Amino acid sequence: MNLNEYRTSGKYLEYLHVQYIGILEFMTSLIANMKKTNADFSKCMIIFDIDETCIANTQSTFRGKSFYKKSIPGALSLFNYVRKAGFKIAFISARDVSALQFSAQQLAELGFRGYSYIFHQDRKKEPDSNNWKRKVRKHLSGQYKIVASIGDQIGDIDTNCDYGFLLFNPFYKV
């Protein structure tokens, strides 16, 4: 199997699914513990990245012709699970700010509904995606307790969240 086949045959998505099963298990325990302490879920937030986290997008950009447009297996289940538990949900994606409407529509079509915020990067002002994501989390952490952040790049998960889940992405680093 060549590397492109690994990406497109479903093997890559299968492994992401396995990771999501683990995250869901972890969050199930965490939520049970939070309920015991009467946590206010509306003041708690879960953050998701978009590309290679909720949507398989390794083959193209948002204007690309060979657009995958496929949700990552397990992502929507986790999204709905934490939303129903009462968490606020934010998407922080390094897609350019010009793609905001496109992303909102794409997420809705794939079933990701009921989130509170979506942030896209203004690449002219903020060229470094990892640093920009950290800044957005820092800003949100003034208002919410960020319980978990899920993404495929280090800047998605390394600061300002109680638990960071870094998904397998051997294809690119930003």
Task: Give least dist CB 93 to Mg ion, A.
Answer: 7
CB-wise, 147 or 157, nearer to Mg ion? Answer: 157
- β-strands 163-166, 145-151: how paired? parallel
- Tell whether residue 49 is a contact of Mg ion (CB under 5 A): yes
**Residue closer to Mg ion, measured from CB, 88 or 133:** 133
Under the criterion CB under 5 A, does residue 47 sit at the interface with Mg ion? no
- Cβ 124 to Mg ion shortest distance, Å: 20
Given candidates 7, 27, 46, 52, which one binds Mg ion under the rule CB under 5 A?
52
Helix (H/G/I), strand (E/B), else coil: 60: coil
| Nearby residues of 89 by Cβ (< 8 Å), 6 or more positions away | 45, 46, 47, 48, 79, 82, 83, 114, 115, 116, 117
The site string for Mg ion over 54-83 (x = CB under 5 A, - otherwise) reads ------------------------------
| Strand pairing category for 44-48 and 145-151 | parallel
Question: Which tokens go with 107?
Answer: 């997420």
Which residues in this chain contact Mg ion in the complex, by CB under 5 A? Answer: 49, 51-52, 152
